[in-house]
Amino acid sequence: MTNTEKAQTLIELVKHYSPSGTEAPAVNYLVQRMKDLGFTRAYKDEIGNAIGVMGEGEKQIVLLGHIDTVPGEIPVRIVGAEHAPPLLYGRGSVDAKGPLSSFVDAVAGLGKVPGWQMVVIGAIDEERESIGARHIVDKYRPDFAIIGEPSRWNRVTLGYKGSARATVTTRREMAHSASGQETAPEAAFAIWEKVSAWVDDFNADKPRVFEQILLSLRGFSSGDDGFETSATLQINARLPVTLLPEAWYAQLEALSAPETVERNGYPIAAYKAERNTPLVRAFLKGIRAEGGKPGFVVKTGTADVNIVAPVWGCPAVIYGPGNSNLDHTPNEHISLEEYGKAMDVLKNVLFALTLSPKA
Query: 3-class DSSP state for residue 339?
Result: helix
User: What is the Cβ-side half-sphere exposure of residue 135, based on CA atoms within 13 angstroms?
Assistant: 20
**Do the beta carbons of residue 305 and residue 276 sit within 8 Å?**
no
**Three-class DSSP category at 17:** coil
Q: What is the mean pLDDT of the chain?
A: 94
Instruction: Give me the DSSP letters along 179-217.
Output: S-PPPHHHHHHHHHHHHHHHHHHHHTT--SGGGS-EEEE
Domains of the chain: 3-160+270-354 (3.40.630.10), 162-268 (3.30.70.360)
- Evaluate whether 118 touches 56 at the Cβ level (below 8 Å): no
Residues 6+ apart with CB under 8 A from 126: 20, 66, 68, 96, 132, 133, 303, 304
For residue range 185-238, list pLDDT tens digits in order: 999 999 999 999 999 999 999 999 999 999 999 999 999 887 889 999 999 999
Task: Return the pLDDT at 220.
Answer: 97
Q: Which are the catalytic amino acids?
A: 68, 126
* Phi and psi based region of residue 103 (left: phi greater than 0; alpha: psi -120 to 50; beta: remaining): alpha
Question: What is the 8-class DSSP label of residue 69?
Answer: B
Nearest one of 170, 176, 2 to 78, comparing CA atoms: 2
CA distances from residue 29 to 15, 32, 43, 94, 195 in whole angstroms, order as listed: 10, 5, 11, 18, 47
Q: How far apart are CA 355 and CA 229, in angstroms?
A: 67
pLDDT digits (tens, 9 = 90+) for 21-74: 999 999 999 999 999 999 999 999 999 999 999 999 999 999 999 999 999 999
Count Cβ atoms below 10 Å from residue 292 Cβ, excluding itself.
17
pLDDT score, position 24: 98
Give the torsion sign (CA, 263, 316, 122, 118).
Answer: negative
The pLDDT value recorded for residue 82 is: 64
d(CA 92, CA 30) in angstroms, rounded, equals 14
pLDDT tens for each residue of 272-305: 999 999 999 999 999 999 999 999 999 988 899 9
Cα separation, 309 vs 271, in Å, equals 8
Which phi and psi angles does 203 have, rounded to 5°? Answer: -85, -10
C-alpha to C-alpha distance for 288 and 154, rounded to whole angstroms: 8
**Hey, how many other C-beta atoms are within 10 angstroms of the C-beta on 194?**
14
Q: Per-residue pLDDT tens for 68-97?
A: 999 999 999 999 866 678 999 999 999 999
List the one residue out of 83, 148, 88 whose CA is nearest residue 343. 148
Residues contacting residue 56 through CB under 8 Å, at least 6 positions apart: 40, 112, 117
Percent of the chain residues past pLDDT 90, beyond the cut: 90
